[in-house]
Amino acid sequence: LFEAQVNILGRGDAVFSGGNHTQYAYSSIQPKITSISPTQSSLKGGLPVTLTGAGFKYNKEGAAPISGSVSDGVTEFEVLSATYTAITVKSKSGIPGTVDAPKDLTLTQDGAAVECAACTLTYKSSKTPTVTNVTKTAKEPGPGFTVTITGTNLCPGKTGTTISIGSNSCAVSSENCGNNKVTCEVGDLPAGTYDVLISTTTGYPSYESGTNKLAFEYAITSVVPTSGSVYGGTVVTIKGTGLPATENLKVTTSKYTLTVLSKTTSQIVARTPDRKVTSDTEEDIQLKLVDGRYSSTAHKFLYSPSSSSVITDIIPSEVPSTRK
């Protein structure tokens, strides 16, 4: 309920019937939904739907965008944003089967349903994208990967499709966004298995078995140099993909630990310790986590006396003082 007072330009306040200008009448402004858009969603949900109307109660600041809820009678929707005239929500997933399912959306505020003449959202099989295969190839030159996704209805209108590999965005360009195939670019990721998360302009897809996960393996492609001084101090660059650039990473030989100087998922730089041997001795360089969960294939490093510098003398042995 809101206080109402009328002021006429050049004349002043108007008197309400039955009272004077110090007495206010009250008008009740009831919220109302006039339309929703779009009206069709993927069976798997994930579609932003906007309720348009007037009189909506919303929070300008704070946690929830609205005081109330939006539901399709089965599940409560996530509210993305809200104003006095529009509320945007995200449709939920989990509609079983492939049968079209119309659901009436209800906005509830102050314990009562808001009036709406046409608030039906239909979950449709024809609006449901499908994913049939997900593959990756290493970019040349790296680092990073190109991820290829095949299926149907993956990119309606060639825009609006977003892809994440785990929490990592996989960039999609319009020229690589087709209904039956989408490719995206993601950076080099640590070894592991990641969820493939796809969102289109009609909602989330249906995944065939195994296509909602993508495995990234570690691989060492080179260790440079492959030999160095028996006195240590050789800076070794290890290149590869999916390398574990974590706090508890260790670079080891069969007997010693190297000092890690820098690390990314595509390159690790470390310094060798001394290994005072009198003949050429090969050591296996490996990557390992402190708790032992991760171990790479060994790459050979040769401690070579012939590659070791020996200082026999320093001339002059004393530096004259510059003090007077």
Instruction: Give residue-wise pLDDT tens across range 116-173.
Output: 988 999 989 899 999 999 999 988 776 789 999 999 999 987 788 999 999 999 999 8
CA nearest to 56, candidates 78, 79, 73? 79
**190: DSSP letter:** -
Is residue 16 within 8 A of residue 101, CB to CB? The reply is no
Amino acid 224 reads: V
- Tell me: pLDDT of 73 over 70: yes
Query: Residue 257: beta bridge partners?
Result: 252
pTM, two decimal places: 0.69
CA nearest to 64, candidates 46, 80, 84, 88? 80
| Distance, CA of 60 to CA of 253 (rounded, Å) | 59
Q: What is the mean pLDDT of residues 244-263?
A: 85
pLDDT at res. 94 = 64
Is residue 35 within 8 A of residue 116, CB to CB? The reply is no
| Distance, CA of 258 to CA of 251 (rounded, Å) | 5
Q: How many CB atoms lie within 10 A of CB 314?
A: 7
Residue 295 or residue 142, greater confidence: 142
Q: How many CB atoms lie within 10 A of CB 266?
A: 18
Looking at the chain, the whole-number percentage of residues with pLDDT higher than 90 is: 33
pLDDT at res. 254 = 75
pLDDT at res. 249 = 83
- Tell me: pLDDT of 50 over 80: yes
- For residue 287, with 0-12 CB atoms within 10 Å meaning exposed, 13-18 middle and 19 or more buried, which class applies? buried
| Distance, CA of 270 to CA of 237 (rounded, Å) | 7
